[in-house]
């Protein structure tokens, strides 16, 4: 069994924070990620058909120019939040659940941890559905319509589910360092380059001026588009510390976690959103994204490589969900919870319709933007409450988060032209920073974890 899974199993026998891997700082001996590992992981996680689909939503609504501005600005801001949280995870050695405990108190933190588990189950189910439908589309193009039948959908779902279960039985660290960094990243970059060349050539043939001047239909404003772009990186916020905590210690390690996460995710997010915009701009009206990709020269191979890369998104969701579940019920190891959650997601993918992506993304954003506005405001300066300490509930942090959720929805309803994500993030961050506990005689959670 892999080293990190063995360590998971050793920590599964008691319910105290000291035996709870998610709430205990990761020791230096298990911190092996460098800059390349952080960048490769988050570039790979940032690539996906779901991101391209959101890009395809933007152009009809706001037009090409505003979509481009929203993509670049929203991706850089969202990736910056990921990078800041990655630095906190690397500095403290705590998983995401540990950061929530440090901010909200050991009792109240169970609520956001539980919400995170629910969203990760939903994301994994989405990923399995996307991989199934993509595989069916490839199969229909290569072998005929039989692959597109209901039984074909069941078989492809079970196939991807079996691969996911096999990956979860191994080591997360080895998967990132040996497969994602060395093999997966070059292949997915080549596929994105090929597809970008194909659709850029078609855009040039149709006229770049007309493409760039294409107006929106007014169904979404500029700030609404920005909210939608930011929602994708924000959905990864509750996961990033689960991986960044494996970053090497020291000033260089903290910088590697920050810059690697930011650059890797921002580049992938901008690229995939932009590719979605290009695809929808040259495809015939009503053509689905997967179908349009398959119609490109070499699209069958390129889509196949992207689907393989999509698998690490599902893996990332389930692994992080298992770490969060382990933080609540530590008697089961991270590996065992991962296998159980994966089986649950496979069952959901077989029976649930999972095609309404935009409302799901915005609902998640309304919860996790203020949640991490408070976490970054409280922990970003190095001062924090203790993990598993005397405080069960930090009422100030909890009230700011709840008020932030209400503010997000109120802004979306009454002032949609100004957006919701950025004002809510700024307000919750400022309130959390101003109300952070003053330095106590004892060391903070982050300071304790350094030692």
Residue-level pLDDT at 354: 61
- The phi and psi torsions of 247 (rounded to 5 degrees) equal -70, 150
- pTM attached to this predicted model: 0.86
Determine the average pLDDT of the residues in 172-178: 84
- The phi and psi torsions of 358 (rounded to 5 degrees) equal -60, -50
- Enter the tokens of residue 161: 């589910």
Task: List the single range of 108-122, 138-152, 222-236, 359-373 with lowest mean pLDDT.
Answer: 138-152
pLDDT at position 129 over 80: yes
Q: How far apart are the first and last CA of the chain?
A: 29
340-392 pLDDT, tens digit per residue, is: 999 999 999 998 776 666 677 678 889 999 999 999 999 876 554 346 554 78
Question: Which is more confident, 33 or 303?
Answer: 33
Residue-level pLDDT at 66: 92
Determine the average pLDDT of the residues in 440-450: 40
Q: What is the largest CA-CA distance in the chain?
A: 71
pLDDT at position 322 over 60: yes
Contact 351, 158 (CB under 8 A): no
pLDDT averaged over every residue in the chain: 85
Residue-level pLDDT at 253: 59
Residue-level pLDDT at 149: 76
Residue-level pLDDT at 80: 94
Band (430; pLDDT cuts 50, 70, 90): very high
Q: What are the start-end ranges of the H helices in 25-105?
A: 35-46, 49-62, 64-92, 96-104
Residue-level pLDDT at 383: 52
Residue-level pLDDT at 17: 43
Determine the average pLDDT of the residues in 85-104: 92
Residue-level pLDDT at 416: 82
Determine the average pLDDT of the residues in 65-87: 94
In 156-246 the beta strands, taken as DSSP E runs, fall at: none
- Sign of the alpha-carbon torsion through 222, 193, 293, 187: negative
In the block, which residue shows the tokens 């920050």? 258
Determine the average pLDDT of the residues in 147-159: 85
pLDDT at position 174 over 70: yes
Residue-level pLDDT at 308: 83
One DSSP character per residue, 47-67 reads: --HHHHHHHHHHHHHHBHHHH
Task: List the single range of 179-193, 197-211, 234-248, 267-281 with lowest mean pLDDT.
Answer: 179-193
Of 250, 175, 179, 256, residue with least CA distance to 3: 175
Q: Report the number of secondary-structure helices (H) and strands (E) in the chain.
A: 20, 0
Collapsed DSSP state (helix, strand, coil) of residue 215: strand
Band (444; pLDDT cuts 50, 70, 90): very low
pLDDT at position 41 over 90: yes
Band (99; pLDDT cuts 50, 70, 90): very high
205-253 pLDDT, tens digit per residue, is: 988 888 898 888 888 888 888 988 998 898 899 999 999 999 987 656 5
pLDDT at position 442 over 70: no
One DSSP character per residue, 365-397 reads: HHHHHHHHHHHHHHHTTS--PPTTSS-S--HHH
As a whole-number percent, the residues of the chain with pLDDT over 70 amount to: 87
As a whole-number percent, the residues of the chain with pLDDT over 90 amount to: 49
Q: Which domains does the chain have, with CATH numbers?
A: 42-356 (1.10.4160.10)
């Amino acid at each position: 069994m892999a080293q990190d899974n063995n360590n998971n199993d050793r920590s599964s026998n008691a319910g105290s924070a000291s035996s709870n891997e998610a709430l205990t700082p990761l020791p230096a001996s298990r911190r092996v990620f460098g800059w390349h590992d952080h960048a490769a992981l988050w570039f790979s996680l940032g690539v996906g058909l779901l991101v391209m689909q959101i890009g395809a939503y933007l152009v009809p609504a706001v037009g090409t120019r505003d979509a481009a501005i929203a993509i670049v600005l929203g991706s850089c801001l969202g990736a910056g939040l990921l990078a800041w949280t990655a630095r906190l995870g690397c500095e403290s050695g705590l998983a995401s659940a540990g950061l929530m405990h440090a901010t909200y108190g050991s009792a109240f933190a169970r609520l956001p941890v539980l919400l995170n588990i629910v969203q990760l189950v939903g994301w994994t189910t989405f990923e399995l559905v996307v991989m199934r439908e993509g595989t069916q589309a490839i199969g229909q193009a290569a072998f005929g319509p039989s692959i597109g039948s209901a039984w074909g959908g069941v078989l492809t779902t079970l196939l991807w589910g079996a691969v996911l279960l096999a990956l979860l039985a191994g080591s997360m660290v080895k998967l990132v360092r040996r497969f994602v960094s060395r093999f997966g990243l070059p292949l997915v970059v080549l596929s994105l380059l090929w597809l970008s060349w194909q659709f850029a050539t078609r855009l040039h043939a149709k006229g770049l001026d007309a493409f760039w001047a294409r107006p929106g239909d007014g169904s979404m404003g500029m700030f609404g588009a920005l909210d939608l772009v930011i929602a994708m990186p924000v959905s990864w916020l509750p996961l990033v510390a689960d991986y960044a905590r494996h970053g090497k210690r020291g000033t260089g390690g903290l910088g590697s976690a920050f810059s690697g996460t930011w650059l890797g995710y921002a580049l992938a997010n901008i690229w995939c959103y932009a590719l979605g915009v290009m695809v929808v701009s040259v495809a015939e009206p009503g053509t689905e994204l997967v179908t349009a990709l398959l119609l490109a020269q070499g699209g069958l191979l390129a889509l196949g490589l992207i689907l393989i890369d999509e698998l690490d998104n599902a893996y990332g969701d389930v692994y992080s969900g298992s770490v969060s579940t382990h933080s609540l019920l530590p008697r089961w190891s991270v590996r065992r919870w991962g296998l159980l959650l994966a089986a649950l997601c496979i069952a959901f993918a077989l029976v649930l319709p999972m095609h309404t992506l935009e409302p799901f993304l915005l609902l998640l954003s309304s919860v996790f933007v203020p949640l991490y506005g408070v976490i970054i405001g409280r922990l970003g300066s190095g001062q924090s409450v203790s993990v598993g300490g005397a405080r069960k509930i930090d009422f100030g942090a909890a009230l700011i988060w709840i008020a932030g959720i209400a503010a997000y929805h109120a802004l979306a309803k009454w002032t949609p032209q100004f957006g919701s994500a950025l004002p809510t993030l700024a307000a919750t961050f400022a309130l959390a920073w101003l109300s952070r506990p003053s330095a106590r005689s004892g060391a903070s959670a982050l300071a304790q974890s350094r030692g």
